[in-house]
Amino acid sequence: MRRALLIVVVAVAAMAMEKELWPSFAFPSIPTLWLAIDFFLFGREPHRRMRRFVLAAAGIVGLFLYAGLAGFVPIDVYRLGFSPFAPIVLALTGVFLARSHRAVAWLIAVALIADDLSLLRSRNLFDYLLDPAIVAIGLVRLSAMAVTAFLPADRDTARSESAAAPAHRRTGAASLRSAIRSAPEWPRDSSR
């Protein structure tokens, strides 16, 4: 709990510094700072599920946000961030996620507080939640999730199944590995 509070304090302090140091293109957003701090403090493993959720959500929301800005979608989602109802909808989302994703609910609460304190130059709520870096990383993560969805779930099981399959049913790399393993040893040239 103390580490989570430390992350929140550092993120809010960094956002306060951002107002003076960086230009107003909303980089870094609170989730970007939070993920970076979490990664550096705790390493890769402890919060992997939460990071995947945040990156996937940032990729999906960012895709719709930037598609609306480019004119591919008839609704300008970015404009909804200026609405007085956007913080209410975001707060309800945080309450809904509080049971299953407590860290994400805290992230939403910090973003709402930062928006209320106007820590960024922008008055759009999306600037506190998304920036181009986290959206790009989120889209890469979503692409990786889509690719791995089509791969076998357990690679060791897949290898053992492919090795146990008859030779006429083996394809691809499993067949090549099997052929290499079963190849006869060539006699070594003794003249060298």
pLDDT tens, residue by residue, 12-32: 666 666 555 555 455 678 888
Residues contacting 91, CB < 8 A, separation 6+: 108, 112
In this predicted model, what pLDDT tens digit does every residue of 102-156 receive, in sequence order? 888 888 999 999 888 887 777 888 888 888 888 898 999 899 888 888 876 655 5
Mean pLDDT of 3-20: 66
d(CA 103, CA 101): 6
| In the chain, where the domains are located | 2-149
Contacts of 190 (CB under 8 A, 6+ apart): none
CB 128 within 8 A of CB 114: yes
pTM of the model: 0.63
CB half-sphere exposure, 8, CA atoms < 13 A: 17
Q: Which helix (H) or strand (E) holds 87?
A: helix 86-97
Band of the pLDDT at 182, cuts 50, 70, 90? Answer: low
Lowest mean pLDDT among 38-42, 95-99, 185-189: 185-189
pLDDT at 188 over 60: no
Q: Which amino acid is at 164?
A: A
- Which tokens go with 77? 């989602």
- Residue 92, pLDDT score: 95
